[in-house]
Amino acid sequence: MKYLNEINRRKTFAIISHPDAGKTTLTEKFLLFGGAIQTAGAVKSNKIKKGATSDFMEIERQRGISVATSVMTFEYKNVLINLLDTPGHKDFAEDTYRTLTAVDSVILVIDSVNGVEEQTRRLMEVCRMRDTPVIVFINKMDRDGKFPFDLLDEIEKELNISLHPLTWPINMGKEFKGVYNLYDKSLNLFTPGQKGTDENSVPINDLSDELLDSKVGTRDANQLREDVELLEGVYGDLDTGDYLKGKVAPVFFGSAVNNFGVKEMLDTFIRIAPTPEPRKTDKGVVAPTDDRFSGFIFKIHANLDPRHRDRIAFLRVCSGRFERNKNYHHVRLDKDVRFSAPYSFMARQKEVIDDAYPGDVVGLFDTGNFKIGDTLTEGGNFYFTGMPSFSPEIFKEVINKDPMKTKQLEKGLRQLTDEGVAQLFTQHGGNRKIIGCVGDLQFEVIQYRLLQEYGASVNFVPLAFYKACWITGEKKKIEDFVRFKQANVMEDKDGHLVYLAQSEWFLNTERQNNPDIEFHFTSEF
Q: What is the CATH number of domain 4-272?
A: 3.40.50.300
CB atoms within 10 A of CB 115: 17
More confidently predicted of 195 and 476: 476
Q: What is the mean pLDDT of the chain?
A: 84
pLDDT given for residue 66 in this prediction: 40
Q: What is the CA radius of gyration of the chain?
A: 25
User: Which of 32-46, 241-255, 412-426 has maximum average pLDDT?
Assistant: 241-255
Closest CA to 208 of 218, 200, 197: 218
When mean pLDDT is compared across 124-133, 247-256, 407-416, the lowest value belongs to 124-133
Helix (H), strand (E) counts: the chain: 14, 31
pLDDT given for residue 419 in this prediction: 74
Rounded Cα gap, residues 387 and 373, in angstroms = 6
pLDDT category at 507 given cuts 50, 70, 90 is: very high
Closest CA to 182 of 105, 79, 261: 261
pLDDT given for residue 47 in this prediction: 33
CATH class of 279-377: alpha beta
Rounded Cα gap, residues 141 and 168, in angstroms = 11
Over 90: is that where the pLDDT of 193 sits?
A: no
Q: Do domains 279-377 and 394-520 have the same CATH topology?
A: no
pLDDT tens-place string over residues 449-471:
899 888 999 999 999 999 999 99
pLDDT tens-place string over residues 317-365:
999 999 999 999 999 999 999 999 898 876 446 788 899 999 999 989 8
pLDDT tens-place string over residues 256-299:
888 888 989 999 999 999 999 999 999 999 999 999 999 999 88
3-state secondary structure of 198: helix
pLDDT tens-place string over residues 4-38:
889 999 999 998 888 788 888 888 888 888 776 65
The structural domains of the chain, with segments of one domain joined by +, span 4-272, 279-377, 394-520
pTM, to two decimals: 0.79
pLDDT tens-place string over residues 54-91:
444 554 455 444 434 477 888 899 999 998 877 644 54
Phi and psi of 16, rounded to 5°? -125, 150
More confidently predicted of 260 and 420: 260
Q: Taking residues 182-206, report their average pLDDT.
A: 73
Q: Does domain 394-520 have CATH number 3.50.50.100?
A: no
Over 90: is that where the pLDDT of 103 sits?
A: yes
Given a contact cutoff of 8 angstroms between Cβ atoms, the answer to whether 460 and 399 are in contact is yes
3-state secondary structure of 169: strand
pLDDT tens-place string over residues 468-484:
999 999 999 999 999 99
pLDDT given for residue 365 in this prediction: 87
User: Roughly how many angstroms between the first and final C-alpha of the chain, as a whole number?
Assistant: 34
pLDDT given for residue 481 in this prediction: 94
